[in-house]
Amino acid sequence: MGDKFTFVTSEGQTSTERVVAVNGDVISWLRGKSVNYTAYRNFILPELTYQTSTTTYNRGIETTPGFMFPLTQGKVEWFSITEKFTNSKTGATGTNRRNYKCQVKAPARLKVRAGVFDTIPVSCDRYSSSNFFYSATTWYYAPQLGHYVFYERAVNTKAGVQKSTRELMSFARGTEASKPSATSKNAATKPASGPETRPMPRRQSYQKFTAGLSQDVRNSLDPVMQTALQTQLNGQSVELPVQGGKATVAVTPTSVYPKRADGVWCRDFTTVVTQAGAKTSYSGMACKVRDKWRVQ
């Protein structure tokens, strides 16, 4: 809690957004000094609630918190929302329905004021309930940071297309902000029943953890880890069945660290292997060195 991100817009205005509460998949934010909103960890999805000095918005989002994840190039998905708003001064209310078509684009290295990031662009086109095209938005998501670093939007208005951008200027980590979600359908959580999970202390080596695994499982560990650390939000897993379904490998990023002085990004993660009716887990850290995540 307490993470802060400061952006500058194409109009030269700056704004700081700060995490004030975390409840499972839902994060409460304060934008500036007066705008409060809640949203899923997933940056693609609109705010769940949004409150300004005059209006309160409540949105029902018809998809899961893990929408579009893992982010794989070329993926296309739709979702819809129903928005209800109330003017606190007049009491006037209204309802809107929106439809969104989203697509994951090719990875791009992007330089912004906060630094240079390897990003995964995600674009969403917004349509009205009558399929009128309203806007196109692209976020440049940096897995190393767990947040987008650049945002561009084009809105279709009567006066023509209005374009705007937001660029990350700086960020600061608070405490507890990167804890994994306990409610996400993809989150790695302790089962209520079933095989006992045997966590391996972090001080023991990754090599020792893998030594007792079958060759098929060992061969699957790195591809799953690379995908999870490069594409997933904190608390969301990549899972792969191996040996014809007799074993499963799941990797869950749990936190991300600020960029090191040498320019390297690191993330904590947990690997859970289910094999022969037992679960074994390893919690460790990997850093992105020469375009590959490597266990430290």
Q: What is the CATH number of the domain that holds 28?
A: 2.40.360.10
Q: Does 154 share its domain with 271?
A: no
In a domain, residue 245? The reply is: yes
- Please check whether residues 285 and 168 belong to one and the same domain: no
Q: What string of pLDDT tens digits covers the 296 residues of the chain?
A: 788 999 999 999 999 999 999 888 899 999 988 888 999 989 999 999 998 888 999 999 999 988 998 898 999 999 999 999 999 889 899 998 999 999 999 999 999 999 889 899 999 999 987 778 889 999 999 988 889 999 999 999 888 899 999 999 999 877 543 333 333 333 333 333 333 333 333 445 888 888 878 888 889 999 999 999 988 888 888 999 987 778 899 999 988 776 677 778 888 899 999 887 788 889 889 998 888 999 98
pLDDT for residue 204: 58
Domain shared by 145 and 15, yes or no: yes
Residues 49, 92 within the same domain: yes
User: Are residues 32 and 136 both part of a single domain?
Assistant: yes
> 190 in a domain, yes or no?
no
pTM > 0.75: yes or no: no
Query: What is the tally of structural domains in the chain?
Result: 2
State which of 137, 172, 207 marks the end of a domain: 172
Q: Are residues 162 and 219 in the same domain?
A: no
Say if residues 79 and 100 touch (Cβ distance below 8 Å): yes
Q: Which structural domain, as residue segments, surrounds residue 215?
A: 197-295
Q: Are residues 88 and 228 in the same domain?
A: no
Residues 43 and 115 in one domain: yes
Tell me if 23 is assigned to some domain.
yes
Predicted pLDDT at 209: 86
Q: Are residues 167 and 222 in the same domain?
A: no
